[in-house]
């Protein structure tokens, strides 16, 4: 049998790995234009957020008291709800699995 050159049937499908535009160096070099716009927009956002939060600082005290009252109300309601739920479940469990003394 004559020696034949072995042919890789998957060579075409793996060729993209060797393409230069998939290298990490190429990706980093060509990511900069979009990345610079993104960083710039984020810095502008942080500046606007800092200015507007200082302008609205006097309103936060009222919001904090109202939101604290709402949080307390929700906490108390949920505490009562879960207490009643688990009490009912434990009573059902106790009644279903306790020995009958009738």
pLDDT tens sequence across 43-74: 999 999 988 887 776 655 555 777 778 888 88
Q: Are 26 and 20 in contact (CB under 8 A)?
A: yes
**Signed CA dihedral, 78, 81, 84, 85: sign only:** negative
**16 with 22: CB under 8 angstroms?**
yes
Q: Which residues, at least 6 apart from 20, have a Cβ–Cβ distance to it below 8 Å?
A: 26
Domains of the chain by residue range? 25-55, 60-96
pLDDT in tens, 24-35: 788 878 887 888
pTM: 0.37
């Amino acid at each position: 049998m004559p020696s034949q050159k072995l042919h890789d049937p998957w060579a075409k499908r793996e060729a993209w790995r060797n393409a230069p535009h998939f290298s990490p160096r190429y990706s980093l070099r060509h990511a900069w234009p979009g990345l610079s716009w993104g960083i710039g927009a984020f810095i502008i956002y942080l500046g606007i957020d800092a200015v507007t939060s200082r302008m609205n600082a006097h309103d936060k005290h009222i919001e904090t008291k109202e939101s604290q009252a709402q949080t307390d109300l929700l906490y108390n309601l949920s505490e009562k709800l879960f207490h009643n739920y688990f009490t009912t479940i434990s009573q059902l469990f106790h009644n279903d699995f306790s020995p009958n003394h009738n």
